[in-house]
């Protein structure tokens, strides 16, 4: 619908993203307990591995594909920079919901990983962008903290409290949460596609899309096999592999898009982040369907 008739999603502007993602975190909270989060903090090795995947493995892949875009495909340098910029940002909250759909017990661990990468992105993202692209990008510290509070901490806390204080109400709500969450997710994916339709359909759109697919696919695979080799003795190794795959393969492309629009004069830099927002979400939830089907 976003491709055929963009106005069907263009109304879902950036001001709706925070409450939309917050609703997904609320749904996770309603289906979790505080014990789940306590257990998550007992796995510092997994948290650290997720962090390495997000801020070491992914930037290396972004640099490689950015160089390939310019040297092999002959694309303009700003497009290569845009791919690298996508690899420098923190994890995406959608990865938490993807984990919740495939392996609910590990959703708190995914939330901890994403929150940590988001909180430290105020320092790491500018450093990586300077290292890979050669441009220092100031990141809004207050904005990042506010984002974590609004999108992650507050909704999950509300869900956990509701689950503890009003269990019957939560029981009545649970059947309605999955369809509402699907609609919510569709808006979060469809809106960036509709709003950035010109970038997707630009002369470079197809080539950049293929490179972005290859970049995210490599990140999903790297996260999966990295965790498999490190935690092969863990009783829940397969669930951990899926979780770390989501964490490595999905990142806050919307933040990359905002940085590209704000700090780069060339509009081509924003094309890869715009396409990544869509590709990353579609690939992540395609994996949700594949892995959920295999578990059944």
Full-model pTM: 0.84
pLDDT tens-digit map of 172-212: 998 898 889 888 888 887 887 788 787 777 778 889 999 99
- The pLDDT assigned to 219 comes to 96
- The pLDDT assigned to 46 comes to 94
Whole-number percent of the chain with pLDDT over 90: 38
Domains along the chain with CATH numbers: 13-293 (1.20.1530.20)
DSSP state of 56: I
- How many angstroms separate the CA atoms of 106 and 100, rounded? 7
Kindly indicate the confidence band of residue 268, based on its pLDDT and cuts at 50, 70 and 90: confident
Q: Three-class SS of residue 251? A: strand
- The pLDDT assigned to 227 comes to 92
* CA nearest to 58, candidates 191, 218, 246, 258: 218
- How many angstroms separate the CA atoms of 214 and 206, rounded? 12
How wide is the angle at C-alpha 270 spanned by C-alphas 198 and 129, nearest 5°? 165
Over 70: is that where the pLDDT of 146 sits? yes
- The pLDDT assigned to 96 comes to 87
Other CB atoms within 10 Å distance of the CB of residue 249: 29
- How many angstroms separate the CA atoms of 52 and 32, rounded? 26
Whole-number percent of the chain with pLDDT over 70: 97
pLDDT tens-digit map of 71-99: 999 999 989 999 999 999 888 878 988 99
């Amino acid at each position: 619908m976003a491709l055929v008739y963009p106005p069907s999603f263009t109304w879902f502007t950036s001001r709706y993203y925070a409450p939309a993602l917050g609703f997904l975190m609320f749904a996770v909270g309603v289906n979790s307990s505080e014990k789940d989060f306590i257990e998550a903090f007992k796995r510092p090795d997994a948290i650290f591995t997720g962090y390495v995947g997000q801020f070491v493995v992914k930037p290396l892949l972004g640099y490689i594909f950015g160089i390939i875009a310019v040297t092999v495909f002959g694309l303009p340098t700003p497009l290569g920079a845009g791919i690298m910029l996508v690899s420098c940002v923190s994890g995406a909250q959608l990865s938490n919901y993807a984990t919740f759909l495939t392996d609910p017990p590990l959703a708190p661990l995914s939330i901890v990983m994403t929150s940590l990468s988001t909180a430290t992105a105020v320092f790491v993202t500018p450093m990586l962008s300077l290292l890979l692209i050669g441009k220092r990008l100031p990141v809004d510290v207050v904005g990042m903290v506010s984002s974590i509070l609004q999108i992650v901490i507050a909704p999950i806390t509300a869900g956990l409290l509701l689950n503890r204080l009003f269990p019957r109400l939560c029981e009545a709500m649970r059947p309605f949460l999955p369809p509402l969450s699907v609609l919510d997710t569709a808006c979060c994916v469809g809106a960036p596609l509709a709003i950035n339709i010109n970038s997707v359909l630009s002369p470079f759109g197809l080539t950049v899309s293929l490179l972005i697919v290859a970049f995210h696919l490599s990140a999903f695979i790297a996260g999966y096999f990295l965790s498999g080799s490190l935690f092969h003795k863990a009783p829940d190794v397969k669930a951990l592999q899926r979780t770390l795959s989501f964490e490595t393969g999905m990142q806050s492309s919307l933040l990359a898009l905002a940085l590209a629009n704000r700090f780069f004069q060339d509009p081509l830099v924003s094309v890869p982040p715009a396409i990544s927002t869509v590709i990353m979400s579609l690939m992540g939830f395609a994996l949700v369907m594949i892995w959920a089907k295999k578990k059944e």
